[in-house]
Structure 1
Amino acid sequence: MTSTAEPDELRTDRLLLRRVTPGDVRAAIAVLSDPETNRFNPSGPPSAEQAAKMLAEWQLHWARDGIGYWAVELPGSGEVIGFGGLRHHELDGEPTFNLFYRFRPRHWGRGYAPEMARAAIDWAGRVRPDRPVTIITDPGNTPSQRVAEKLGFAHVGDSDTASGPVLVWRRQEATMAA
């Protein structure tokens, strides 16, 4: 895997992770508004308008923070198969990076989520080692919990959000050092 210090674009063995653009609105609506991708979202899928607003917010995060969620592409086809990456987050008063991803269901089970997540985590470890990466999952979202475990994260506690209770995951070496 190659990457640069600037996270506008990262490449993995099979994926291109690039900054989201207004041209990604159709893909964002398709991925984010799909009821299957929101199976564990207590709020349910966003409307097309809400998904478009989410994409616009992600663009603002990039402009303001220099980091955000990427469009995840298959380089050969240019197909956007999902979205994911890191965003500045505050969890129980501590600044962290939140790891997020959503992929089109037809691309599930191919290892794309862990591959995208590893690239994001590796970038954060090199460029911002002072800011821990957390993964927040719904208590019933066992597929995302398995991804967290594959990435070396451990369940370190629970928290409450506006949507309800969540599980908090951190890298095991980070939890051992704390």
Structure 2
Amino acid sequence: MTSNPDQIHTDRLLLRRVGPGDVRSAIAVLSDPGTNRFNPAGPPSAEQAAEMLVEWQAHWARDGIGYWAVELPETGEVIGFGGLRHHDLDGEPTFNLFYRFRPRHWGRGYAPEMARAAVDWASRSRPGRPVVIITDLDNKPSQRVAEKLGFAHAGESTTAEGPVLVWRSQEVPMLT
């Protein structure tokens, strides 16, 4: 694995910096009601999904890290999006780990594989900055991914959408 976050290869995936060519895939993944089952706001419109992609590109330009397009290297199919973004959690700078995959690719271990690569990159390249996963209270699949990664349940917080659970990488102290 490389220290350059623009492109990371795992055993089965290519994680690459999002770009303008990803708009169709972003709309397909992000606007799918299945991928938003635990999103209190529901699925974004196609226009909102395209705007999210533009925002993600701005994060890359500003912060040198962001969400990746997650591809199957053998086909080039974008099966989802995920990665790290700078996030202020209750006054503490963290990396928020996000992932969203096409439903037909669920249950194959792609989310933990992508997430593990992101956490590994963060621990090598930005040691000392905790990685958190923020899930809806009922989002058991994302909570299982957090547990598979060895994250600890660190408590609850509140976002604009309401109460959430916070999962934290165990390399740093848990929230009190």
Fold equivalence (TM over 0.5)? yes
Shift of 1:130: 1.7
Of 40, 45, 49, which aligns to 2:43?
Answer: 45
State the match for 2:121 in structure 1.
123
* Structure 1 counterpart SS, 2:172: helix
Q: Post-superposition shift, 1:173?
A: 4.3
* Matching of residues 57-136 of structure 1 within 5 Å: 57-136=55-134
What per-residue deviation string (whole Å, max 9, x for no partner) do you get for residues 27-56 of structure 1? 000000000000000000000000000000
Measured in 2, the distance between the counterparts of 1:156 and 1:116 equals 22
| Deviation readout 1:9-68 (Å, 9 max, x if unpaired) | 000000000000100000000000000000000000000000000000000000000000
Number of positions where the alignment pairs a residue of Structure 1 with one of Structure 2: 176
What secondary structure, in the 3-state scheme, does the structure 2 residue paired with 1:172 have?
coil
Cα distance in 2, alignment partners of residues 27 and 133 from structure 1: 26
TM-score (norm. length: structure 2):
0.97
Structure 1 residue 174: Cα displacement: 2.5
Gapped runs of 5+ residues in structure 2?
Answer: none
- Pick one of 142, 145, 163 that aligns with 2:143: 145
Other-structure match for 1:36: 34
Question: Residue deviations 1:48-98, cap 9 Å, x none?
Answer: 000000000000000000000000000000000000000000000000000
Instruction: State the distance in 2 between where 1:65 and 1:106 align.
Output: 32
Q: Are 2:44 and 1:54 aligned?
A: no
Partner amino acid, structure 2, of 1:103: F
SS at match of 1:72: strand
**Cα RMSD after superposing both structures:** 1.3
Post-superposition offset of 1:105 = 0.1
SS at match of 2:38: coil
CA distance in 2, matches of 1:114, 1:82: 12
Query: 4+ residue stretches of structure 1 with deviation over 4 A?
Result: none
1:13 match: 11
Which amino acid is the alignment partner of residue 41 of structure 2?
S
TM-superposed CA distance for 1:175, in Å, is 3.4
CA distance in 2, matches of 1:173, 1:84: 21
Distance in 1 between residues matched to 2:168 and 2:51, nearest whole Å: 29
Deviations 1:79-130 (A, max 9, x none): 0000000000000000000000000000000000000000000000000012
Distance in structure 1 (CA, Å) of the matches to 2:171 and 2:49: 35
In 1: Cα distance, 2:128 partner to 2:63 partner: 16
